[in-house]
Chains A and B, each alone.
Chain A
Amino acid sequence: MGWLDKLMKHLSPESSGQHSKHAAKERLKLALTYDRGGLAQGTIEQLRDEITQVIARHLTIDEDEIDINFDRTSQEDKLIASIPLRMSPRTRTKVGQATAMAGKGPTPPHQD
Chain B
Amino acid sequence: MAGRVITVTSGKGGVGKTTFSANVSAALAELGKKAVAVDTDVGLRNLDIVMGLENRIVYDLVDVVEGRCRLQKAIIRDKRIATLHMLPAAQTRDKTAVTPDAMEKICAELRSQFDFTIIDSPAGIEGGFQNAIAGADEVVIVSTPHVSSIRDADRVIGLLEAAEKQQIYLVINRLQAEMVRRGDMLDIPDILDILAIELLGTIPEDESIVVTSNRGELAALHATSPAGQEYKNIARRLLGEEVPMLPLEEDKGLFKWLARLFKGQ
Contact = CB atoms under 8 A, between A and B. Distances in A.
A25 B245 CA distance: 22
**Interface residue tally of chain B, by bracket?**
20 to 34
Contacts of B185: 21
B105 interface: no
A5 to B, nearest CB: 11
A31 B154 CA distance: 10
Interface in A25-52: 25, 27-29, 31-32, 35-36
Contact of B192 (A3, A10, A74): A74
A34 to B, nearest CB: 10
Interface in B167-199: 180, 182-187, 190, 192-194, 196
Interface residues of A, number: 21
B60 to A, nearest CB: 35
A95 interface: no
A35 B151 contact: yes
B186 A25 contact: yes
Contact of B150 (A19, A28, A36): A28
Contacts, number: 50
Interface string B221-265: 000000000000000000000000000000000000000011010
A21 B262 contact: no
A33 to B, nearest CB: 10
B147 interface: yes
A25 B190 contact: yes
* Chain B contact surface mostly: helix
Interface string B124-160: 0000000000000000000000010011001100100
Contact of A32 (B180, B187, B194): B194
Contacts of A29: 194
A74 B196 contact: yes
B153 to A, nearest CB: 10
A7 B258 CA distance: 10
A20 B192 CA distance: 18
Interface of A: 3, 6-7, 10, 16, 19-22, 24-25, 27-29, 31-32, 35-36, 72-74
21 contacts: A7-B261, A16-B183, A19-B182, A19-B183, A21-B184, A21-B186, A21-B187, A22-B183, A24-B186, A25-B186, A28-B147, A28-B194, A29-B194, A31-B151, A32-B154, A35-B151, A35-B154, A35-B155, A35-B158, A36-B158, A74-B192
Interface of B: 147, 150-151, 154-155, 158, 180, 182-187, 190, 192-194, 196, 261-262, 264
10 A-B pairs with least C-beta separation: A19-B183, A74-B196, A20-B184, A21-B186, A32-B154, A24-B147, A21-B183, A24-B186, A25-B190, A28-B147
